Structure 1
Amino acid sequence: MRSLFFLASLGLVAAENGLDGWLRYAPLPCSHQCQSKLPASIVVLNATETSPVYVAGAEIQNGLNRIYGSHAKISQNQCKTSSSAVVVGTVEQYRKACGSSNDIPELEEDGFWLNTEGQKIRILGSTERGALYGAFEYLSMLAQGNFSAVSYATNPSAPIRWVNQWDNMDGRIERGYGGPSIFFRNGAIVDDLTRVKQYARLLASIRINAVVVNNVNANATLLTPENLKGLGRIADVFRPYGIKVGISLNFASPKDLGGLNTFDPLDPSVVSWWSNITQQLYQNVPDMAGYLVKANSEGQPGPQEYNRTLAEGANLFAKALQPYGGIVMFRAFVYNQLNESNWKEDRANAAVDFFKELDGEFDENVVVQIKYGPIDFQVREPASPLFANLFNTSTAIELQVTQEYLGQQSHLVYLPPLWKTILDSDLRIDGKHSLVRDVYTGKHFKRKLGGSAAVVNVGTNTTWLGSHLSMSNLYAYGRLAWNPADDAQDMLQDWIRLTFGLDRQVLNTITKMSMQSWPAYEGYSGNLGIQTLTDILYTHYGPNPASQDNNGWGQWTRADHTGIGMDRTVKNGTGFSGQYPAEVAALYENIDTTPEDLLLWFHHVDYTHRLHSGKTVIQHFYDAHYTGAATAQTFPTQWQSLKGKIDDERFNHVLRRLDYQAGHSIIWRDAINTFYYNLSGIPDTAKRVDHHPWRIEAESMKLDGYKTYTVSPFEVSSGSVAIVTASNSTVGSATTRINFASGTYDLAVNYYDFYGGQSQWQVYLNDKKIGEWVGNSEDVYSHTPSIYLDGHSAIRVTFRGVKVKKGDMLKIVGKPDGVEPAPLDYVSFLPDGVVD
């Protein structure tokens, strides 16, 4: 009967809110043969309930019950008498409790051995943390219906597998697209740490071993006595899951919090202050992982204010941590504002300029944390050359699960294919095979320390990141931190099975969408290595290519009327290409050998420069933006094919975001193409740019209570003009006759929805209401809201299958709310198969 129950339950798709992530342990059918393969008991080789080994046993018990309805009991240290059992513990615990261990392979720290051959399943780690990892590996197999007889050992690629939270003390999260902090509120640590425990489970299951709980733009008040106690409570929650807590520090804390008149890292009083604070921290968190430090970057204080080197600043903390075994993660994201009129200046040079000469001057427990590319988490960058310039310093790679420049979790963008372009890059150090992943893990330079850190913005939203599909990035990050050689699609498919079940159509569809998503986003947001053409001065979200230039931030495109791209050659440009080892430098120095997906990163070329395809650069821009947006239009349709195979709550949540992305990708496409068409004066050979035969501009309609409004930047409005209500208390209407042929159309309405009000709109056809909506995107989607009519607030709503006759009257009524004046841009009547 139990087997039949599970078979029947597969047809019932229960509502889920995403809180369990990939640890949902959804029920699977279990035949008699399946039941015979399940352990009857669980032997834990440590009876302490807060130990990772005991937690591993409890996770296995819970998983077996939820997946297969099995009620395995937990026993302690009964290894020799137990049969049909799973035994979990360390290798040393196993030797003491069970005797012979000759068949167990050698394990490195945190490595584990999983053996499911025979009647007794053994999950043994070199450490208790490793045993817990093995338990989650076993459960991952079972949750995917995999009963294979296996015997293998696996070890981490590097000892550092961290995540960096950007949570602020007031509860807000910098780049917080998944809600407020699970750690902080109103300047203190929250009382209820239930969500922290749930997060600990997720992190442990992907083998993360440390979490920095606060923003790198740190607030010194974290170091008050009350908050130190709070950090102790957080550490108590993470500890049973094998995860250590670290914190970000504000370099100026001795002055801002401690009352000293200096924070000079060589001043004895500063040294003493940090030594005392570190001692207090370890009294509250005895196993603290260490410190993360951002210094002399983007306005943060640092040692250079006292003419001290960055190494001297890092070593201040390293020496304070040495008695306790802690490490310093010192960010290489250090740069100054630049003079754009000087074509030799280049922000990309900063990391090597600041750190190369300091190689060998950092203490042994300092790890320089290097962003994967030289700028700032762009849609495509070359690998940071700093990896090839630190021979005697431990390094870690910094990735970003947070989709800051990459759709902010309102757009589907599966990131591991992007990350793999960096991890698998060959730097050819000393003319030898030198993969980036071998450098930062410590393998290449034979460093004991090294590894990965990822910026992660989990919040109180039940989806954790603001979107169900974005969780694939967190899952895959953990997998890559353990083994950076893992395949992007293989990791994705494990995540899909664990998150959405074993249905083949579900697997194939989400795989296809996800693997298409980064190339599509690159296509409609910025390609040929030009970076993400987003607004870098405001929210880092929507399109604003002009914002890249004419400022000191250094994310320049050098676009003018004749050409585009940064000249980073040694011969004529900023010299950046020369920061790489000779073979790679020569590759990038030569325009003919530079990979075209990085062409504009390394070279300034005319818009008419011919690519290998025969297309000009400007035509490639036009085509790529149309192709990328066209791919995004397929995402809602692909997802809709899964209706009934995924519970309604998650299905509708994801569909709404994919519909939004499809519309916003067109806003991106039009903004970028219009901007460069106006700048270059070169038309699109396909005659698409600024040619929209299916659109009706709102300003061309008959207006009552509405007035025209010139949008800035101009390219984020069709025709550069929108309409807004005459006042914040005036209801407006816009009417027009439909001159398209009679038929069935999708009616798309482009409008603006910004923070500070929730306007309401109704659409009428011949005075019959055919649709309505509310401007509440700030409550629905995850990206940073805007207070302007711009590329961030531009949005589209679509009403499908609208039957119209030529000559029908269309009317849109807008009711403003707050400061939002019910803005409208245009409407499109789209025949079947036509993308606007």
Structure 2
Amino acid sequence: MQLLPLFAVFGLALAETGINGWLRYAALPSSVSWPSIPKHIVVLNTTKTSPVYTAGQELQRGIQSILGQGCHISNDKHEESIVVGTLDAYVAAYGKLNESVELKGDGYWLSTGSKTVILGQNERGALYGAFEYLSMLAQGHFSTVSYASSPDAPIRWVNQWDNLDGSIERGFGGASIFFANGTVVNDLTRVSEYARLLASVGINAVVVNNVNANATLLSPHNIDGLGRIADTMRPYGVQVGIALYFASPSSGVQGQANLTTFDPLDPSVVTWWSNVTEQIYERVPDMAGYLVKANSEGQPGPLTYNRTLAEGANLFAKALQPHGGIVMFRAFVYNQLNESDWKADRANAAVDFFKPLDGQFDDNVVVQIKYGPIDFQVREPASPLFANLYHTNTAIELQVSQEYLGQQTHLVYLPPLWDTILGFDMRVDNQTSLVHDIISGRTFDRPLGGYAAVVNVGTNQTWLGSHLSMANFYAYGRLAWNPAEDTTKIHEEWTRLTFGLDPQLVNTITNMALESWPAYENYSGNLGVQTLTDILYTHFGPNPQSQDNNGWGQWTRADHNTIGMDRTVSNGTGYAGTYPPEVAAIYENISTTPDNLLLWFHHVPYTQQLKSGKTVIQHFYDAHYSGAETAQTFATQWQTLASKIDTQRFNEQLCRLKYQAGHSLVWRDAICNFYHNVSGIADELNRVGNHPWRIEAESMTLKGYKQYTVSPFETASNYHAVVTSDNITTGSVSTTLHFPSGIYDIGVNFYDLYGGESHFEMLINNKGVATWRGDSEDYLGHTPSIYLDGHSARRITFEGVAVKEGDVFGIVGTPDGIEPAPLDYMVFLLKGVLD
């Protein structure tokens, strides 16, 4: 084998797109020394579709890239070699191991030295062990090890929300890698690369389409396409599953029989699903199974025919049972509610629907439960349904895709949030009952269980849209394998693999990550009030008033005097009582409820004193200012790493961190202004509504611009912005500055709408200083907005601008498309001053 010149190996790091994720296999720096690594790789299965064969290829590729050492692959025995295969194959070829090895499904044995042995309980496990070995090498870890590792739970799936037209619901990293124009894409190169990423962190199945499914996926042509996907992913041990549209039998699927009913107990429906399932397994003999969303958010289901959810799930279970497939049946079932009913509570829905059915689900059904009882909020209590299904398999549903949590434009490292749920003790029957033990099947002695996460990778070279968001993807796999892993160490490991071994680099990026979830919670919604985003539109920017006065049940019940949901048994919705008694008692009592969940469980005055001594409203003000202040540091921390990260990834991530710094201030001001307006209670530190360094656009001299009242009001400073008089004419705003002469960072808050890219020019004394465009739709993947609101609100900052008192400051805005060059305000900040 020809070796790459060492300079070429190092040169690979000079320009990176992110497509390799944590599997870059970057050459080790010269400062790292390593012992001799075996030059022979013995592969105990040379069938090219085998994960063991893939493991051999991956070992050869990785060692070449990391160490610059060529390795010869063979199935001949060598004294100094890396042997990879199944435990059974090794025993057949070499005899018994010296050590006693016990492996659960998908587990592996790794023993390093002059002879390195990587053995799987099955072929997939052998590949997992190979990836683990390469991870050690890539991190400069060369100590001799000998250990077995098995996954905590058998189900470790990801859910894609891809649509057949190529779009992805809540996808922020580009179009689908699976579908386009109603069918499976021809080029499956990215699918193969995705399977490689999944396998490297122990993920064993992927549901390739949206839970809001389309019946046309079941056409013969598309079933063949699913077969091509499965063929592509099989060498990595990743099985394919699909989400089903419950009413498919009556949907007129081309190539399938068309019924007039989808009643799960109708014999013709039973036969229809049995036939379709048989067709799929003929093409995809190792299909993992089905994912079903039924009777939720307008989707059809068994309740349509007064059948139970268990009867609906068992319809598919029976069709799958002969083939070894499983049904993941989502517990995300709820109805719209009447907010005037004090007892109404969407959080009760999962227990109300599923607890009475415990024991009625077939053994190959797994109820897939969101980590909290609402919908991927920034903080929720662990769903009580985990503690109410003694005789039913369960899995936890997490979300890598940051739907409510910044949509990959905000840095939010999610594993510490997941860790609070997985490690929560439900105290079932007054015994230790950690959530991760329940879903693994240990607590209730169930045969199946585990993990599912909405990942939604796309065609963007970064997969998710943001380089740093890939840490959530990596960590999900690691936690699904071992939920006891330390989330800080996971991030450090990911950073070394993704960016390099430099200690400053690892410490800085990990520090940013660990600060990110608390910061986001602080500036988006805290004390258990949920994420105060717009639940009626894009789930991205702030809009606290959208939570209430509708039937969706994500209420805060905020009025002029009080806020929070009363979920007590004594006076509220009774939700607290759905937990086992020890936990219920904690949440029932306001004195024992943790402050970070106070407003989830209790309806209190804004003046309610917290355990910290602050009032609720003052905590809101302080937390939002603190969170936004932390977000201002992320770009600064990142910039200290300019010489340590390749230019492309450095600049792309810096852009997002600067965006987050500006958008966190939009969040801060919107939430603080809203509750200041609603409660009438002043901020003790006089920050809210007091911005001495700002100039409101509507207060400037306007030419070709007009004042515009923004809705929701709190997403504009002083409730107003300005827009050009029409969508053709250039406008300008200008004013004489009365700030002291000095060097300022000038921030401009404007609105960046989808459907146009307005052009702006900043002038001082009629001389151009800077230009920019409202073009974030070209490089930020968040769900865009066509309105002036908290989603489109954006800040751009120009640093180090010399300003003299009496200068004439102006901005010229040229509209484009539907975007009328909207401006909110300008702010002039001396170094160290936070707006």
What is the TM-score of this pair, normalised by structure 2?
0.98
1:128 to 123, 129, 147: 123
Asked if residue 741 in structure 1 is aligned to residue 740 in structure 2, the reply is: yes
Alpha-carbon separation, structure 1, partners of 2:780 and 2:572: 41
User: Per-residue CA shift, 1:42-90, capped at 9, x if unaligned?
Assistant: 00000111100010000000001111111101001x23xx022100000
Amino acid at match of 1:232: G
Q: CA deviation at 1:145?
A: 0.8
Distance in 1 of aligned mates of 2:68 and 2:27: 8
1:11–1:276 Cα change, 3 Å: closer
- SS of the equivalent of 1:833 reads coil
In structure 2, the partner of 1:161 is: 156
Compared CA separation, residues 55 and 5, structure 1 to 2 (3 A) = closer
For 1:30 and 1:443, the matched residues in 2 are separated by 47
Q: Is the 8 A contact 1:13 1:644 kept in 2?
A: no
- Report the CA distance shift for 1:218/1:3 in structure 2 as closer, same or farther (over 3 A): closer
Provide the C-alpha distance between the structure 2 equivalents of 1:251 and 1:148, rounded to a whole number of angstroms: 53
Match of 2:172 among 177, 180, 184: 177
Residues 13 and 26 in structure 2, CA contact (< 8 A), matched pair in contact too: no
1:421-440 CA-to-partner distances (Å, cap 9, x unmatched) read 10010000000111011001
| Cross-structure match for 1:818 | 817
Cα distance in 2 for partners of 1:395, 1:659 equals 40
Give the equivalent residue in structure 2 for 1:285. Answer: 284
What amino acid maps onto 2:25 in structure 1? Y
- Please say if 1:92 is aligned against 2:88: yes
Task: Give the superposition deviation at 1:644.
Answer: 1.2
Alpha-carbon shift at residue 37 of structure 1 (Å): 2.1
Deviation at 1:448, TM superposition (A): 1.1
CA distance in 1, matches of 2:827, 2:720: 16
The answer as to whether partners of 2:328 and 2:367 remain within 8 angstroms in 1 is yes
Superposed displacement of residue 12, structure 1 = 8.6
SS in structure 2 opposite 1:472? helix
Q: Could you report, residue by residue, the CA deviation over 1:621-643 in whole angstroms, capped at 9, with x for unpaired residues? A: 00000000000000010000000
Number of aligned residues: 830
Matches within 5 A, 1:727-766: 727-766=726-765
Match of 1:725 in 2: 724
Conserved? CA contact 2:9–2:65, under 8 Å:
no
User: Matched residues in 2 for 1:321 and 1:720: separation?
Assistant: 57
> What letter matches 1:28 in structure 2?
L
Equivalent residues of 1:3, 1:30 under 8 A apart: no
CA distance in 2, matches of 1:8, 1:476: 30
Q: 1:8 Cα shift?
A: 10
In the alignment, structure 1 residue 349 sits paired with structure 2 residue 348: yes
Match of 1:26 in 2: 26
Q: What is the aligned counterpart of 1:110 among 106, 112, 121?
A: 106
Q: CA deviation at 1:7?
A: 8.7
Q: What is the CA distance between 1:32 and its match in structure 2?
A: 11
Match of 1:415 in 2: 414
- Mapping of 1:299-448 within 5 angstroms? 299-448=298-447
Local SS of the residue matching 2:225: helix
Q: CA deviation at 1:446?
A: 0.9
3-state secondary structure, aligned to 2:14: coil
User: What do residues 508-557 of structure 1 show as CA deviations (whole Å, max 9, x unaligned)?
Assistant: 11011000000000000000000000000000000000000000000000
Q: 1:55·1:240 contact (CA, 8 Å) conserved in 2?
A: yes
1: CA distance, partners of 2:607 / 2:102: 60
CA distance in 2, matches of 1:68, 1:763: 51
Contact kept in structure 1, 2:40 and 2:82, CA below 8 Å: yes
| In 2: Cα distance, 1:516 partner to 1:699 partner | 36
Per the alignment, residue 678 of structure 1 pairs with 677
Q: Distance in 2 between matches of 1:104 and 1:199?
A: 35
Pairwise mapping of residues 508-527 of structure 1 onto structure 2 (< 5 A)?
A: 508-527=507-526
Deviation, 1:100, is 2.8
- Could you tell me which amino acid in structure 2 is paired with residue 518 of structure 1? W
Q: Distance in 1 between matches of 2:70 and 2:555?
A: 61
Residue 621 (structure 1) aligns with = 620
Q: Quick check: 1:37–1:147 contact (8 Å CA) kept in 2? A: no
Q: Cα distance 1:311–1:511, how it changes in 2: closer, same or farther (>3 A)?
A: same
Structure-2 separation of matches of 1:701 and 1:477: 50
Distance 1:140 1:12 in 2: 18
- Check the 8 A contact 2:159/2:453 in 1, yes or no: yes
Task: Compute the displacement of 1:6 (Å).
Answer: 5.0
> 1:6, 1:28 within 8 Å by CA — same for their partners in 2?
no
Moved more, 699-708 or 23-32: 23-32
Please tell me whether the aligned partners of residues 731 and 814 of structure 1 are also in contact (alpha carbons under 8 angstroms): yes
1:213: which partner in 2? Answer: 208
Query: What residue is the counterpart of 2:186 in the other structure?
Result: 191
* CA distances 1:450-476 after superposition (whole Å, capped 9, x unpaired): 000000110000000000000000000
Note the alpha carbon deviations across 1:738-765, whole angstroms, 9 max, x for none: 1000000000000000111100000001
Aligned-pair CA distance for 1:388:
0.3
How far the C-alpha of 1:237 sits from its partner, in A, is 0.7
**CA displacement at 1:800 relative to structure 2:** 0.1
CA contact (8 A) 1:88 1:131 kept: yes
- The answer to whether the 8 Å contact 2:151/2:481 transfers is yes
Q: Once the two structures are superposed, what CA deviation does each residue of 1:348-381 show, in whole Å capped at 9, x if it has no partner?
A: 0000000000000000000000000000000000
1:597 alignment partner in structure 2: 596
Cα contact 2:206–2:239 (8 A) shared by 1: yes
- What is the rounded CA distance, in whole Å, between the counterparts of 1:351 and 1:290 in structure 2? 23
> Is contact 2:317–2:364 with CA below 8 Å preserved after alignment?
yes
- Partners of 2:247 and 2:301 within 8 A in 1: yes
Distance of aligned partners of 1:248 and 1:12 in 2 relative to their CA distance in 1, 3 Å threshold: closer
- What CA deviation, in whole Å up to 9, does each residue of 1:293-324 have, x standing for no partner? 00000000000000000000000000000000
CA contact (8 A) 2:331 2:369 kept: yes
Aligned to 1:486: 485
Taking structure 1 as reference, are residues 4 and 435 closer, same or farther at Cα in structure 2, changes over 3 Å only?
same
Please list, as runs of the form range in 1=range in 2, the aligned pairs for 1:468-507 lying within 5 A after superposition: 468-507=467-506
Q: What fraction of aligned residue pairs are identical, expressed as a percent? A: 70
Answer with 376-385 or 44-53: which moved more.
Answer: 44-53
Residue 222 of structure 2 corresponds to 227
Change (3 A) 1:725 1:47: same
Whole-angstrom CA distance in 2 between matches of 1:508 and 1:31:
18
Q: State the shift of 1:102 in Å.
A: 3.6
Secondary structure class of the residue paired with 1:23: coil
Is 1:572 the counterpart of 2:571? The answer is: yes
Q: 1:238-277 to 2 correspondence within 5 Å?
A: 238-256=233-251, 257=253, 258-277=257-276
The 1-side partners of 2:173 and 2:816 are apart by 26
Amino acid across the alignment from 2:796:
V
Kindly provide the amino acid, as one letter, of the partner of residue 220 in structure 2: P
**Further displaced range: 257-266 or 586-595:** 257-266
Q: Distance in 2 between matches of 1:259 and 1:17?
A: 47
Q: How much does 1:108 deviate? A: 1.0
Equivalent residues of 1:16, 1:649 under 8 A apart:
yes
Contact 2:9–2:68 at 8 Å: present in 1 too?
no
Deviation at 1:105, TM superposition (A): 1.1
Deviation at 1:99, TM superposition (A): 1.7
Kindly provide the amino acid, as one letter, of the partner of residue 172 in structure 2: Y
Deviation at 1:10, TM superposition (A): 5.8
What is the RMSD computed on CA atoms of the aligned residues? 1.4
How far does residue 9 in structure 1 lie from its aligned partner after superposition? 7.0
